[in-house]
Amino acid sequence: MSKVTELTCIRCPIGCAITVTQDDEGKVTEIVGNSCQNGYLYAENEVTNPTRIVTSTVRVDGGVLPVVSVKTNGDIPKARMFDCMKEINRVHVRAPVSIGDVVLKDVLGLGVDIVATKNVGVMKDGRVYSRTGSGDDQLPRDSV
Amino acid sequence: MADRTAKIVIIGGGPAGLSAASSAVKEGVDPSDVLILERDHVLGGILNQCIHNGFGLHTFHEELTGPEYAERFEKIVKEERIPCLLDTIVVNIEIEKGAEAAASPDGTGIDACKAGSGNDGAALSAACGRKLVSAMNKTDGYFTIEAETVILAMGCRERPRGALNIPGYRPAGIYTAGTAQRFVNIEGRMPGHRVVILGSGDIGLIMARRMTLEGAKVEVVAELMPYSGGLKRNIVQCLDDFGIPLKLSHTVVDIRGKERVEAVTIAQVGPDRKPVPGTEETYECDTLLLSCGLIPENELSGQLGVKLSGVTSGPVVNESLETSVPGVFACGNVLHVHDLVDYVSEEAAQAGKCAAKLVLGKCPAPDAPERVIPVLAKDGVRYTVPAEIRLNHMDELQTIRFRVGGVYKGASVVIDFDDQIFRSQKKKILAPGEMEQVILKKSDLEHAADLKAVTIRVAQAE
Amino acid sequence: MVDVLIIGAGVTGSAIARELARTERSVLVLERELDVCEGTSKANSGIVHAGHDAKPGSMKARMNVMGSRMMPALSRELDFPFENNTSLVIGMSAEDRETLEELLEQGRKNGVADLSIISGQEARRLEPNLSENVTCALRCGTGGIVDPFLLNIALAENANVNGVRFEFGRAVTDIKRERGGFVVKCADGSLYEAKFVVNAAGVYADKFHNMVSAHKLHITPRRGEYLLMDRKTQGFVRATIFQCPTKMGKGVLVTPTCHGNLLIGPTAEDIDDKEATATTAKGLAEVLAKAGLSAEHIPARQVITSFCGLRAHEDGGDFILGECADCPGFFDAAGIESPGLTSAPAIGVYMAELIQEKDRRPEKKNFTAKRKGIPCMATASPEERRRLVAENPLYANVVCRCELVTEGEILDAIHRPLGAKTLDGIKRRVRAGMGRCQAGFCTPKQMDILARELGTDIGAIVKSGPEARILEGYTKEDDPVGEIAFGMKNRTDTEAQ
C-alpha cells in the first residue's frame, strides 16, 4: 500500500499543490506538482521529517511584564509541538530577562533550547501604568 | 511659540519610524536634530506582540521574531542617541501660519516651494512651511514642536466589528485579532477557550495557531472572499498544521450571548457576498476574533490636509515618499498596508533618506527644471506607491510597490511607457494578500524623452 | 424603610430621583444592571424633540414640550452635551405637505415655538446633502440633540450627590403592599421597605405595575436598530432630518450626534422578547435603505458600529404617569418611549410634584443643583489643554487615541459619584473606546487602569454585566509551575539594574 499526501508548498508565494507518494517503508517514491527544487525538498521533508519553530511565552516573576516571549532556537519535529508547549508552560523565569537568554536547555532532549526573544526589565514600583514596558529606559530623552 | 524644534519629527516609533530615523542619521542628519514621538510605553510598535517568527529574512537574512526584529532597530536608535519621547500622543500637525500659501493642496512634491531661493536646506524646508506638531504626555504636558519636516509613521488599525455590519448581540468576547494577540502574548491571558475567527488576514491566522498552542480550541476560520487575505505559509503552518478548517466565501451572520459570546453562526456567501439562506452553521464558542483588514491611521494626515488615496486610505506620495504637503513624508502601514515588515523597513529607510536630503539641502535646486511622470495603476493593479516620479529627484533605482485586486495565475505584470509595453514579467501567481513590486531605472525614464506616464497593469494569460 | 424607592436607574428614574432629592426625604434607586443608563436610555436617537409629534392634550405632548424647554438650562446646570441643532421633517409629495401642515398645527397647539414650513430648495440650502426629492420641510428651531448617556449619568450623579442612594445588581422580583407601605424583593434575596414605590422600569414597567394593580398594563418592546458613523462624517447634516410620518410608519432619521458622529435609524419592529437587543441583517439593511431616501450618498463605508434599543410601547400609546388607581403609593412612569429622553426632566418634575402633593416635605436647604462634568481634552482649546495638564499631568496621558481620552479623564469617570465600574461605564462617561477602532487598542489599557483603581485583577474586569468578562484565565494556568528555570535567579533586583 502506498501513501499519498497532498501538500501546499510554502517556500514561496506561489503555493504549489504538491502530491507526494510514499511506499510501505515511508520512502518517497514520487513527488509531483512542485515547480522547483526547493519545493521538492520541502515536500520530501514534510512527509519524512516535518519540523517547525515553536514560539510562545513563559512566565516572569518580578518583571514589568507577566510573560516573556520565547522561541525554540532551531526546528523541532512537528509532532512534538504540543509536548514542547507542555515544557514551555512549566517554565518561569525571574526578571530581568534579555533577548537570547536560554530559559530551558535542550527541550525534550531534542538538542534545541528555548530562548527569550524579548527584554523584560524589573518591576520598579507597583503602579506601572502600561505593562508593555520593557523596563528599559536607556533611551536618550530630552525634556521639552 | 514652539516649545522645541527639530529638523525631522517622526510620528510613530514602530518599525517604520525606527527605520526612517536610522536612515536619516545615516544620510548625515545630526541625531539630535531628529525626534521620534511614540504613543506607547516602548518603541517597536506592534512588533512587540508579534512573537512569532518569520521577520527579517530580507533585512537581516535570518529568521527573527517580532520583538527581536524591533530590537535590532531600537539598538541603532539608542546607539545613535536619537531622541525619543515615549507615551506621547500627537494631537495636531499644522503648517506654520503665513506659510500655508506655499503648500499646494494638489500635486505632490516641493514644486510649490519654488519661492525659496538657493539650495540651502533650511531655506528650502522653510519655504515649504515649518510644521507645528502639537503633542502631549504626562511628563512634558502639552507642547508644540517646530519641525522642518515630518515623517508620518503611525501604522494602521484593525477593522472593528461595527464596521463589518455583523448582526447579533454585542457581548464581551468579540475582539480584533490584534487585541487578542496582545492579551495572549503581552499579558499572558486567554481571551477565551473556544474560538471562531472571521477573516483570514495574517494576524487572524497567527492567532489561530497561538490560541491553539495555548490550549484553546479554534473551531473554524471563515473568510468572506473566495481567497485568503493572508500569506500562504501562514495558512499551512497556522491552520493546516492543526486541522483548523478555513471556510472561504463564508461570513458571520449572527452572534449569540447577551453578556459573553455563547455561539456564532456562519453562512456561505454568494458571488454578491450576501449570505445564502440555508447554509447557516452554528458554532458554540466563547470568543469571536476578527481579522478583516487593516486601515492606515491617517486622521492626523487628514487634519494636516494631506491628500489621501481612496484605494489605500494612505497618503498619495511621490518618489521620495513625500505627500501632497511639502516636507511631510509617509512610510510603513500608514502609507499602505504591507505584508512583510522587511518591506516596511526598506520603504521607511527611503522616506528617512529623502527627508534628510531635504533638510541637508541635498535636493535639486527648487528652480531647476523638473519632469514629473505619473505612475498609474490599471487592469487588476489597485494602486501604486509612489503615484508619481520627479525625474530629477529620482535615485538610480526606484521601487514601485502595489497590490492586485484578485487572484491571477500565470498572468504577467506589465509596465507600459505611455501606450508601449516597456517590460512584461510573467508571474505564476498574483494574490491580493501579497504585495508586489517592480523596479524602474532612472536611465530608462530619462531615455524616454516624451514619456507622459508609466502604467503598471496585470495582463491575463491568453 | 425609605420614603421613596425607585425601580430603574435609566433616564426617567434618575430624573425623578434628582427632583425628589430637592426635598427632605430618603430616596433609594434599585437598578438590576451594574450601572445607570443600561436599558432603553442607552440605545436611542439622542434627540431633543421639539414637540410637534404628540397629540395635543396627551401626556407625551405635555412632557415633551416642557422637557424640550428645560433642556438648554439643564445642560448648563448639569454640564452635559446638548446642542440646539434644529430639525427638519422632510416631505416629498403633496400628501406629505398636508401631513407637515398638520404637524405644524399640532406643534402650535402643543406650544412649540419657531416652527415653519420651508420649500425643498430652502431645505437643501440648509442641508446640501438632502435628497433631490425633498419638496418641502417642517423646520423646527427648537429641535436639538443631547448625549443620552451623559444626560442620564448627570441626573443620577447629581441625585446621588444630593443624598439619593443607588444600589446596583438589584433585579426586583416581587413587590408587596404591607403595613401602609411596600416590601420590595430582589433576585439576590435582598429586601427593601418603602413608603412609596416609583416604577421607572422601562420595558419591564408593566411587569411591576401588574404585581400590584388589577388594571393591567401591557408593554411591547419595539426594536429599533441604528448605525453610527465615524466623526469624519461631521457636517454631513447639521440638523436632525426626520422623514414624514406616513401610514407605513415614522421612517428613520439622519442626525448628527453631539460628538460629531452621524447616526441613522431606527427601525420599528414589535417583538416579544424584552431582552432581544440583537441587531439583525434585515434591520441594518433597512436603516441604510431608508436613510438613503432622506439624504444622498449616506457614507455607509464610515459605519463604526451598529446597535439596537427597545422602546417601551404601552398599548394605550401614551406615557402613563401617576399614582396607580387601585394601589395608593405606587407611582408609574411607564410606557416611556419616544419622546421619553426629551421628556425625562419634565417627568422628573411632574412625578416629584405628585409625590410632594401626597407627602409634603420641606425643601432641602443644601441641595446642590449644579454639577461639573469631566473635562474633555478632545474638545479643549490648546490653552485649556495646557491648563488642565498643569493641574493634572494625567490629562496628557492618552489612553483612547481615536477619541483622545486621557488617563486623567478615565480616573475621573471611575472616581466620581456613581463612578464607572465597567468598560461600558467608562465609555459612556468619557467616550474611551467609542471611536473608530471601537476599543481595539485601548481595551487592555483601560482594563489596567480599572483594575488598579478598583483594587482588582484585570481578569475580573467586565464589559457591562457581571458575566461579561473580557478575559478567561491565564495562558499557562493549567500547567504546574516548575523550578525557576532561569539562571539569573541569584541576582538581586538592585544588581540587575
Q: Domain boundaries in chain A?
A: 3-49, 55-143
**Beta-carbon separation of A122 and C452 below 8 A:** no
Interface of A with C in 60-79 (CB under 8 A): 61-62, 67
Residue C225 contacts residue C213 (beta carbons within 8 Å) = no
Q: How far is C55 from chain B (nearest CA, A)?
A: 35
- Asked whether the predicted pLDDT for residue B121 surpasses 90, the reply is no
B157·C440 Cβ contact <8 A: yes
Mean pLDDT of B201-214: 96
Residue B301 near residue B292, CB atoms below 8 Å? no
In a domain, C258, yes or no: yes
Residue B389: predicted pLDDT: 96
C394 with C418, same domain: the answer is yes
Residues C492 and C420 in one domain: yes
pLDDT at A13: 66
Decide if A94 and C489 are in contact by the 8 Å CB cutoff. Answer: yes
Q: Do A92 and C480 touch (CB under 8 A)?
A: no
3-state DSSP assignment of residue B12: coil
- The answer to whether residue C411 is domain-embedded is yes
| First-to-last C-alpha distance (Å) of chain C | 60
Pick the CATH number of A55-143 from 3.10.530.10, 3.40.50.300, 3.30.70.260, 2.40.110.10: 3.10.530.10
Are A139 and B187 in contact (CB < 8 Å)?
no
Residues C401 and C468 in one domain: yes
List the catalytic residue out of C49, C52, C259, C313: C49
The whole-number pLDDT of residue A124 equals: 73
Tell whether the model's pLDDT for residue B118 goes beyond 50. no
Query: Helix B341-359 and helix B15-26: axis angle, to 10°?
Result: 40
Pair C295, C444 in one domain: no
- Cross-chain CB nearest to B428 (options A35, A136, A139): A35
- Mean pLDDT, rounded, for A102-131: 83
Would you say residue C28 lies in a domain? yes
Which residue's entry shows cell 530581568?
A96
Task: Locate the chain A residue with the closest alpha carbon to C442.
Answer: A130
Which grid cell sits at C152?
A: 442620564
- Whether B87 has its CB under 8 Å from any CB of chain A: the answer is yes
Residues of B in contact with A143 (CB under 8 A): 139-140
Surface-to-core class of residue C497, CB atoms within 10 Å of its CB (0-12 exposed, 13-18 middle, 19+ buried)? exposed
User: First-to-last CA distance in chain A?
Assistant: 75
Residue B96 confidence (pLDDT): 84
Report the alpha-carbon distance of residue C130 to residue C296 in Å, rounded: 6
**Residue C59: inside a domain, yes or no?**
no
Q: What subunits touch chain C, counting only 3 or more CB pairs under 8 A?
A: A, B
C436 within domain boundaries:
yes
The reply to whether C121 falls in a domain is yes
Which stretch of A52-56, A139-143, B205-209, B297-301 has the lowest confidence by average pLDDT? Answer: A139-143
On whether both C189 and C327 belong to a single domain, the answer is: yes
Query: C478 versus A139: which is more confidently predicted?
Result: C478
Task: Please check whether residues C268 and C230 belong to one and the same domain.
Answer: yes
A125 versus B379: the higher-pLDDT residue is B379
Are C375 and C395 in contact by the 8 Å Cβ rule? The answer is yes
Interface of A with B (CB under 8 A): 7-8, 10, 13-15, 35, 52-57, 59, 65-67, 69, 71, 78, 81-82, 85, 99, 117-119, 129-134, 136, 138-144
Residue of chain A nearest C482, judged by CA positions: A90
Is C243 strand, coil or helix?
strand
Considering the domain architecture, whether residues C195 and C256 belong to the same structural domain is answered as no
Give the CA count within 13 Å in the CB-facing half-sphere of A128.
18
pLDDT at B127 (0 to 100)? 61
A63 Cβ contact list (under 8 Å, min separation 6): A94, A95, A96, A97, A120, A121, A122, A123, A135
If phi > 0 it is left, if psi is from -120 to 50 it is alpha, else beta; for residue B201 that is beta
**Do residues C422 and C410 make contact, with C-beta atoms less than 8 angstroms apart?**
no
Residues C298 and C325 in one domain: no
| Cβ atoms of A99 and A85 closer than 8 Å | no
* Same domain assignment for residues C431 and C491: yes
What's the angle, vertex CA C451, arms to CA C449 and CA C455, rounded to 5?
120
pLDDT at B342 over 60: yes
> Would you state the pLDDT for residue B286?
98
Q: With a threshold of 0.90, tell me whether the complex ipTM lies above it.
A: yes
Q: B413-438: per-residue pLDDT in tens?
A: 999 999 999 999 998 889 998 899 99
Domain count, chain C: 3
pLDDT reported for residue B368: 72
Q: What percent of chain B shows pLDDT beyond 70?
A: 92
pLDDT reported for residue B169: 95
Of the candidates B39, B167, B182, the beta carbon closest to that of C444 is on B182
Are C251 and C305 members of one domain?
yes
> Is residue B163's pLDDT more than 50?
yes
Average confidence (pLDDT) over B437-460: 94
Task: Determine the structural domain holding residue C11 and report its residue range.
Answer: 2-40+149-219+317-358
Question: 3-class secondary structure for C127-193?
Answer: CCCECCCCCEEEEECCCEEECHHHHHHHHHHHHHHCCCEEEECCCEEEEEEECCEEEEEECCCCEEE
Looking at the fold, whether C414 and C270 belong to one and the same domain comes out as: no
Chain A: closest CA distance from residue C268 (Å): 44
Structure confidence at residue B107 (pLDDT):
42
Task: Give pLDDT, residue B123.
Answer: 56
Would you state the pLDDT for residue C384?
96
Asked if C436 and C288 sit in the same domain, the reply is no
C389 and B91 within 8 Å at the Cβ level: the answer is no
Residue A127 above 90 pLDDT? no
C254 contacts C103 by C-beta, under 8 angstroms: no
Catalytic residue check, C215:
no
Q: Give the global pTM.
A: 0.92
Q: Domain of C201: which CATH number?
A: 3.50.50.60
| The pLDDT value given to residue B161 | 87
A27 touches chain C (CB under 8 A): no
Indicate the helix (H) or strand (E) that contains B329: strand B328-330
Backbone phi and psi for residue C156, each to the nearest 5 degrees, phi listed first: -65, -45
pLDDT digits (tens, 9 = 90+) for B395-413: 999 999 999 999 998 899 9
Pick out chain C residues at pLDDT < 50.
Answer: 487-497
Residue B110: its pLDDT value, please? 42
Please determine, for residue B52, whether its predicted confidence score (pLDDT) is greater than 50: yes
pLDDT at residue B148, rounded to an integer: 96
CB proximity A47 to C under 8 Å? no
| C185 is a domain residue | yes
pLDDT at B428: 84
Instruction: Work out whether the CA dihedral B176, C448, B334, C402 comes out positive or negative.
Output: positive
